[in-house]
Chain A
Amino acid sequence: DAMVIQNPRYQVTQFGKPVTLSCSQTLNHNVMYWYQQKSSQAPKLLFHYYDKDFNNEADTPDNFQSRRPNTSFCFLDIRSPGLGDAAMYLCATSRDHSNQPQHFGDGTRLSIL
């Protein structure tokens, strides 16, 4: 049974049109992460939430935002997608900050027209 669920699996949007990706988890984990994975590249951390505390990576573009309305859900908002934002977006969770592995969803593949 999937424990980290991402919707949709595939998303197509137009250049500059805002898009929201969704992640939900049934693990009741405190921490939720968003990674960007471009073709044949390593996943790159964008930001994470520890409970309601938001932690942004220094090199994450301002175009990327996130919301976590409750423990189970986390959203990735891309305000004005550019062609370079086409990628797989991976959501992950971990129980807390210390010594806990991360568990990933199957990702959302985003295409920009």
Chain B
Amino acid sequence: AQSVSQHNHHVILSEAASLELGCNYSYGGTVNLFWYVQYPGQHLQLLLKYFSGDPLVKGIKGFEAEFIKSKFSFNLRKPSVQWSDTAEYFCAVTFGGSGNTGKLIFGQGTTLQVKP
């Protein structure tokens, strides 16, 4: 079955530390990949997305992600986190090519806590 998995459920970092959040999916075909952030009390915001082309994608707020097809992974990275990055992070995937329904399936989410 098609699924999305985030390995880290709760991450605690100090400011200026580097961040990497894992995301894997199970599907052998075409995928579109997304990372969203949800700040406390706010709605989901898109950080970045990958459809095709350069597998290294740069997003907003200094985030980037790399699509590694052979590993079915799309890990999110940031070289130096800030206290304001404290939030919930979700990896999401659409499965299939042009004939798919386009429904977005989410991973379990990772809570990031950055200590000042």
**A complexed with B:** no
Binding site for B on A (CB under 8 A): none
Binding site for A on B (CB under 8 A): none
